[in-house]
Structure 1
Amino acid sequence: MPSMQFFELMIAMLLAIIALHYLATRLKLPPAVALLAGGSALAFLPGLPTVTLDPALVLVIFLPPLLMDGAWFIAVRPLRRHMFGIAALAVGAVLFTTVVVAVVTHALLPELPWAACAALGAIVSPPDAVSARAVLSQLKLPRRLSILLEGESLFNDATGLVLFRFAIAAGVTGAFSATAALQSFVALALGGAAVGVVVSAIWVLLVRRLGDDYLIIAASVLVCWAAYLVAESLHVSGVIATVMAGLICGCYQHALFPASVRMRGTSFWTVMIFLMEALVFLLIGLSLRGVIERVGGFVVVLDEMAGPILIILLAMTAARFVWVFGSDAIILIARMLGFRRYAPLGPRCAVALGWAGMRGVVTLAVALSLPENFPGRDFMLVTAFAVILVTVLIQGMTLGSLIRWANFEEAAVDRPRLTMSQAEAAMARVQAERVATLAYDEAGHLIHPLLLERYRRKAEHMADYAGREVDFAPSMHAHFDVVLEAVRAGRAELLRLHRSGDIDEETLQELERDLDLEELGALAEKA
């Protein structure tokens, strides 16, 4: 594709992202659904070039930042608390689904060797981090369920990729060793974790010495690719390295970043991740045309592949439900026998967890990386795309309704000990105490009376507000409505002064930033 045509295609894709995302918002659909469906429709427009994806390039461009985004912002304490359940999903469920899909595929297509069937199972077994975040970001879930899904999506790609690698090796060489596979998985995981620790430690040292907001933000953006590429070059898990680096950097950023870096960096990162997630789903949709053309068109897909693919989809979905409900039953039996460390999810949470198994970019990229002469490659490509399409469109569109039907209640162990208003009251009390120690000079004269009064009043108001949010809600909303009106009036006057030439551009930007911070604070308090 000529360079100018490629650039024009990228601009068109960005415009399509804006249009499709807006359409999804208006129709109250998950954006991932609209982007995937829109990309699939756009793929067959006359004159549009066929989009072919380089699987290695797709993974290295999109996977590290999207994994880093999940790891950076995940709640670490609940992650540790529920690590057993996350491991059961990220390793156990992926392995179980791989076996089920392999057995069903071999029963449907006995001419396919077992290694090819296992490779297909490894391709479709891990739910995708990008798909999960894209759909779940707009849903309100109990903390435990949310942590299980987020944690699973961060770690399960490593399991799927290791299984796929060994299935391909078995298909090429005809030899397979379960012991060697387990040893390799442990080595890859531990090696990846070690690389993540080292890269994040270097990042901490670097951030402490850079001293410039933009350099710190740039270093923080690049750390995900650094961890992934270093790990892959050392032949260990780039996924685990990126997740480990994200967890460590996410913890340290609270102490390392000044407020200006956090505001600017978060804004930049949020937009970048939004565009990357959207591009992933649009590219998956656009690649449909190349997949269909390769196998001979829709007629071949419908006549020869639709039946087996549908059965594989049902088996894959059933396998996840069997694993989730089976794990919950084991926990319930263990509690009956006196082992009460873990609590069962319950049938409603288990249904939601079983249904939240969307596949995405990793499934497609791994399928595209199949060797050209690998047995059943065309069937596996179509199956991978069908799995992505069905899980994102059907599960993504119905998961919200399912969660609303479930009407979850937050378990007491997963609720924070303090509400937000109680935490604000504690913070305001300590602030007032600190200001009180600094409000007097050495001779004991009060030199900051207004400041002291301001912080004392804030502490009193927050202490009165904590625990009575419902009672204060109407007056609080009215209060911040007035603040927002004052901000709008101030902004209008500021623009008038600038247009009349009374203030210069620098003054406009400085005062506008103050108004923006005031507006953001009011909107956050009102939400």
Structure 2
Amino acid sequence: MEVLLLVVGLMLAAVLLVGVGDRTRLPWPVLMVLLGVVVGAVPGLPDAFDLDPELILPLFLPPLLFATAQRTSWALFRARWRSIALLAVALVAVTITAVAGTAMALVPGITLTAAVALGAMVAPPDPVAVEAVAGPVRMPRRLLSVLQSEGLFNDATALVVFQTAVLATVQRGELSAPGLLLRFALGVVAAVALGIVFAWIARWIGDRVTDPTGRSALTLVLPFAVYLAAEEMHASGVVAVVVVALQLRSASMGDEAAERLVQRSFWDVVELLVTGVAFGLIGLDLRQVVEAAGPDLPRMLAHAAVVCCVVIGIRAAWMVGAWLLVRRARSALAAPVTGREAVVLTWCGMRGLATLALALALPVATVDGPFPARAELVVIGCSVLIVTLIGPGLTLPLLVRRLGVQADADAEQAAEKELTLRARRAALERVAQRERTADLPEEAATALHERMTRLEALLRGDPPTTEERDHVEALRRGRALAMEVQADALAAAREEVLRARREPGVDPEAADRVLHRLDLRTVLLG
């Protein structure tokens, strides 16, 4: 009962802190962490959340990864494969190496494999933390898409290294770089195949479930199912969840307007509540970490400060190197293209749920006795989490404003306008085609042409005028054929936007905003 009360309390706190965050312009997930720290520090409070650490990732990561992955597209990943490889694989590997070397020099009694486990624990920026903190900040879409791409895949690299290093520590084995690479490659290939299969199964089931609510419920079960299946097959559950989300999103059809609206609202609620519980849990579990450290806490914190500097320094050096490589690039997707953007990307290397889960999942014992320096490794991991999450989370909006690295509103509006024009052209072409093949009354044809011509204003989100409402009522009263043509034209517009979303260089979120307005227009006129 205590666990249930705690979960309900964290959900309620998340809802309230969303409003506080909006008013104070602070990221509410960071406020959730601070609330958890305050609640956990209350004297006499029993251990709030007795949850097996091995359940933290399977419970929280799949739905949050799925929600984040739905905002991107295969086309964007194909265009960004180099940056994904450099950030999600190479940067993680370099960070693991640097942290492991630092830990070997600082922590007494630590083994090489335990040091590598620490490096894997703190290396990957968390996709949930990055999306929750950086998403609401008005920064260029190029930067946010780089962070999203990095966050969706770097956990896969870190998890493979962490699991291998922990196993080698527990069983007194040795780490093998070729073995790690082979395991990582096989895990990714198997996860991609599994994600595609699960997406096909989900589409097959969805075709036989006509209720939009039931189909939305299926999408909630799906990320858990594919994650657990991948873990059982020793594949990457992270990659499997991302692939199934991307595959389902790319297979979305133009006539699924009602389903998209239901799922969007459904997943907005799920993401808010799960994120709130997850970040609240981070704050509450810090109390257990402090208690486990005991009187050695000051010494451990001193070592943690050095590791934090190494983690941030490695990311800063990497982003400066990336800036020097791409500053002359002509691609609209290139980032960072300025030193200021490199600073912002460095500041957005926030650790979160994955780091906490891996820290708490360290075994207590090995075949030869206690796990080497376990308490200190947990303190260091959680310290890196706090330093990279709380500080950047509270200062990122100010940093973006001071550096002048703000979203290019004109560029975003131009991207939406281009998609809107494509949708309007597709709708007018469909109306003209139906005029040639159907006996459409002249009055109805004129009204349809006027309405489809005004589609650009409608897709911008402008409210319908009284005249437009009268047109709708007139068409509903007696012009069934005109309604059919209008629905057909809107379907053509939706299909054009979905087609554009799959094209390289098209911002998926801009396409989603236009598609959302088309879906609303379709449902309202249905």
Q: TM > 0.5 between the two?
A: yes
Q: Corresponding residue for 1:248?
A: 247
| Equivalent pair of 1:42/1:286 in contact (CA under 8 Å) | yes
Are positions 1:10 and 2:4 aligned together?
A: no
Q: Distance in 1 between matches of 2:348 and 2:214?
A: 38
Q: Please tell me whether the aligned partners of residues 26 and 394 of structure 2 are also in contact (alpha carbons under 8 angstroms).
A: yes
Q: Which of 450, 453, 458 is 2:451 aligned to?
A: 458
Q: 1:159 aligns with which of 152, 157, 160?
A: 157
1:359 match: 351
Distance 1:90 1:369 in 2: 22
Q: CA deviation at 1:31?
A: 0.7
Letter in 1 for 2:308: L
CA distance change for structure 1 residues 481 and 456 in 2, over 3 Å: closer, same or farther? Answer: closer
**Residue 65 of structure 2 aligns with which residue?**
67
Matches within 5 A, 1:47-86: 47-50=44-47, 51-86=49-84
Q: Which residue of 2 aligns with 1:387?
A: 384
Q: In structure 2, what is the equivalent of residue 349 of structure 1?
A: 341
Q: CA deviation at 1:317?
A: 0.5
Deviation at 1:215, TM superposition (A): 2.3
State the AA in 1 paired with 2:357. Answer: A
Q: Does 1:430 align with 2:426?
A: yes
Q: CA contact under 8 A between 1:52 and 1:290: conserved in structure 2?
A: no
Give 1 or 2 for the bigger CA radius of gyration.
1
Q: Deviations over 1:368-409 (max 9, x none)?
A: 111102111101111121111111110111222222233348
- Residue 42 (structure 1) aligned with residue 39 (structure 2): yes
Identity across matched positions, percent = 33
Map 1:94-133 to 2 at 5 A.
94-133=92-131
What's the counterpart of residue 174 of structure 1? 173
What is the distance in 1 between the residues matched to 2:166 and 2:347? 29
What SS does the corresponding residue of 1:323 show, helix, strand or coil? helix
Task: For 1:235-274, list aligned pairs within 5 A.
Answer: 235-255=234-254, 258-274=256-272
CA change 1:324–1:426 in 2 (3 A) is closer
Q: Aligned partners of 1:199, 1:441: CA distance in 2, in Å?
A: 41
Where does 1:412-491 land on structure 2 (aligned, <5 Å)? 419-438=415-434, 444=439, 446-447=440-441, 449=443, 451-461=444-454, 480=463
Q: Secondary structure at the match of 1:236?
A: coil
RMSD: 3.3
Supply the distance in 2 between the matched residues of 1:461 and 1:206 (Cα, whole angstroms). Answer: 38
Classify the secondary structure of the residue corresponding to 1:419. helix
Take 1:364 and 1:397, find their aligned partners in 2: how far apart are those partners?
Answer: 20
**Partner letter of residue 10 of structure 1?**
V
After superposition, where does 1:265-344 map in structure 2 within 5 Å? 265-296=263-294, 300-302=296-298, 304-330=299-325
Higher relative contact order (CA 8 A, sep 6+): 2
TM-score (norm 1): 0.80
- For structure 1, which segment, 150-159 or 101-110, has the greater mean C-alpha deviation from structure 2 after superposition? 101-110
Following the alignment from structure 2 to structure 1, what is the Cα–Cα distance between the partners of residues 336 and 4?
52
Quickly say closer, same or farther: Cα 1:76–1:142, change in 2 above 3 A. farther
Matched-pair contact (CA < 8 Å) for 1:440–1:448:
no
Structure 2 partner of 1:147 = 145
Residue segments in structure 1 that go unaligned for 5+ positions in a row: 470-475, 487-516, 523-527
2:121 & 2:376 partners in 1: Cα distance?
12
Distance 1:368 1:343, change over 3 A: closer
> By how many angstroms is 1:151 displaced?
0.6
How far apart, in 2, do the equivalents of 1:123 and 1:218 lie?
A: 33
Farther-moved stretch of structure 1 (371-380 vs 218-227): 218-227
**TM-aligned CA deviation for residue 153 of structure 1:** 0.3
Q: Measure the CA separation in 2 of the matches of 1:268 and 1:343.
A: 33
Q: Offset of 1:357 from its aligned partner?
A: 0.6
**In structure 1, the residue corresponding to 2:252 is in which secondary structure?**
helix
Structure 2 partner of 1:499: none
Gaps in structure 2 of 5+ consecutive residues: 366-370, 470-515, 522-526
Q: Look up the SS of the partner of 1:141 in the other structure.
A: coil
The answer as to whether partners of 1:82 and 1:147 remain within 8 angstroms in 2 is no
